[in-house]
Amino acid sequence: MSEPLVIVGNGMAAARLVDELAKVALGRYAIAVIGDEPRLAYNRVLLSSVLAGETASHDIELRPAAWWRDRGVTLKYGCVATEIDVGRRELKIANEESIGFSRLVLATGSTPLRLNVSGADLAGVHTFRDSRDVDLLLTLAAQKKRVVVVGGGLLGLEAAYGLAKAGTPVTLIHLMDRLMERQLDAPAAELLKSLVERKGIRVMLGANTARVLGETRVEGIELTDGRRIDADAVIFAAGIRPNIALAKDAGIPVNRGIVVDDHLQTGAPDIFALGECAEHRGICYGLVEPAYEQGRVLARYLAGGAAAYQGSVVATNLKVSGVSVFSAGDFMVADGCEAIVLSDVRHGTYKKLVVSDGRLTGAVLVGDVGDALWYLELIRDREPIAGIRPDMMFGRSLSIRSEAA
Ligand SMILES: Cc1cc2nc3c(=O)[nH]c(=O)nc-3n(C[C@H](O)[C@H](O)[C@H](O)COP(=O)(O)OP(=O)(O)OC[C@H]3O[C@@H](n4cnc5c(N)ncnc54)[C@H](O)[C@@H]3O)c2cc1C
């Protein structure tokens, strides 16, 4: 008889785990997925395209209902899991009976942070995480409201781009002195800023939010230096917090995320976690690729294999506000490293490759990202690059030809 395996969260990590389990352990588990969003799992990354009017909301579903049915998965969506009884191996679901499990997987993702400033709860303050948020933002866009987006990372830029594309006046404010400071060095960030400004987005750097202005609804933002920006709506895109409450309340060890070992096992027997809610070797990843790698490993482990997750080399390969951006590895030039740089601001291209000990250890690309995956392979494989170094900057085809010559 199939063992009951329950997954909490019907997001990208959960969908990948089911996909991988169906390949390696079909029939071994009777799988139930409990998700609080009121729809089938969808590609969250594509919410930006939905906001920008480039993709329809129903087109971003990861799998149709029949796919889940064919794999014997019981899907409960619009349902919140409220409590884990570790000893009795039961999961409580709001307004429903408990469900028993032999194995439980937590794939609860993250929640967007709201800055801890006065006015953060006013009507007209929003976040950008799920399709309900996108529906609200599309309403703002249709009404041509003046919007301030707080946060110059990926999400803030995507929100600003989508709204600006719909004709909304948008100001993007960012605390740091450059955009996407965790993925880009200063020249790449400067180029990105100028490309984003060309899309009609006003960008303010070094801008620290003091409070959201308004009595009952948003009227603007005040910065700590006293400057004020009038606005009808504010979108906080200033970070995420892993959803750990369910685990924590059950006594499962947590830090910033739910702590897991190399088998994605939490501190409780037969309870696992993956995706953005999990913390592996001190890292909570906020990207989809590590969640997918974890899904592959966990499926194999649950199938009885000896698979182990060793962590991910994080790469960012995105279209930010319509501009292609890639970064991977150690892209800042630490002591003992060398940088090879090609910069053509007029054509919107910047490339930096970081070399250490004769190997490629990091890369940042803006504009032309055609060879991004090749650079990522070189970083991951740690192959010596002496033979291709002179032409490496110009891409794979040229480098391989010159190595062969
Ligand atoms: C607009 C946007 C753009 C992005 N772009 C990129 C990108 O370009 N590249 C990239 O790598 N990453 C990107 N990301 C991040 C990426 O989407 C996440 O890393 C990925 O979705 C994580 O998958 P997950 O399954 O861990 O979490 P999620 O996809 O968030 O799924 C978690 C699910 O669990 C549900 N849940 C939580 N608690 C409970 C509970 N108690 N009971 C029931 N259900 C619960 C949540 O509602 C949610 O549906 C983007 C994110 C957003 C919001």
Residue 401 binned pLDDT confidence (cut-offs 50, 70, 90) = low
Residue 64 binned pLDDT confidence (cut-offs 50, 70, 90) = very high
pLDDT at 79 over 90: yes
d(CA 364, CA 372): 9
The residues pairing with 356 across neighbouring beta strands, listed in sequence order, are 359
82 CA closest ligand 1 atom index: 41
Max distance between CA atoms of the chain, in angstroms, equals 71
Both tokens assigned to 359: 């190997």
Strand order of the sheet with strand 323-329?
315-320, 323-329, 359-366, 349-356, 338-344
What integer best gives the mean pLDDT of the chain? 92
pLDDT at 27: 86
d(CA 43, CA 373): 21
pLDDT at 333 over 80: no
- Average pLDDT (392-405) is 71
- Average pLDDT (38-58) is 92
Q: Which of 137-146, 246-255, 388-397 has the highest mean pLDDT?
A: 246-255
Residue 140 binned pLDDT confidence (cut-offs 50, 70, 90) = confident
Q: Tell me: the pLDDT tens digits for 155-210?
A: 999 899 989 988 889 999 999 999 999 888 899 899 889 989 988 999 999 999 99
pLDDT at 255: 98
- Average pLDDT (231-240) is 95
Contacting residues for 226 by C-beta, under 8 A, at least 6 apart: none
Both tokens assigned to 298: 């966990």
Find out whether 121 and 215 touch, Cβ atoms under 8 Å.
Answer: no
Q: Tell me: the pLDDT tens digits for 274-329?
A: 999 999 999 999 999 999 999 999 999 999 998 999 998 888 887 776 788 999 98
Which residue matches tokens 């998700």? 35
Find out whether 312 and 289 touch, Cβ atoms under 8 Å.
Answer: yes
Amino acid at 303: A
Which residues approach ligand 1 with their CB closer than 6 A? 8-14, 34-37, 44-45, 47-48, 80-81, 107-109, 128-129, 154-155, 158, 243, 246, 275-276, 286-289, 291, 318
Per cent of the chain over pLDDT 70 is: 98
Q: Ligand 1 center to residue 18 CA distance, Å? A: 16
pLDDT at 89 over 90: yes
Both tokens assigned to 230: 């009038």
d(CA 103, CA 7): 9
Q: Helix (H, G, I), strand (E, B), or coil: what is residue 59?
A: helix
245 CA closest ligand 1 atom index: 41
pLDDT at 399: 66
Taking CA atoms only, the protein residue closest to ligand 1 atom 31 is: 11
Q: Ligand 1 center to residue 200 CA distance, Å? A: 29
- Average pLDDT (212-233) is 96
Amino acid at 349: T
d(CA 61, CA 40): 7
Instruction: Indicate the pTM of the whole model.
Output: 0.91
d(CA 71, CA 62): 14
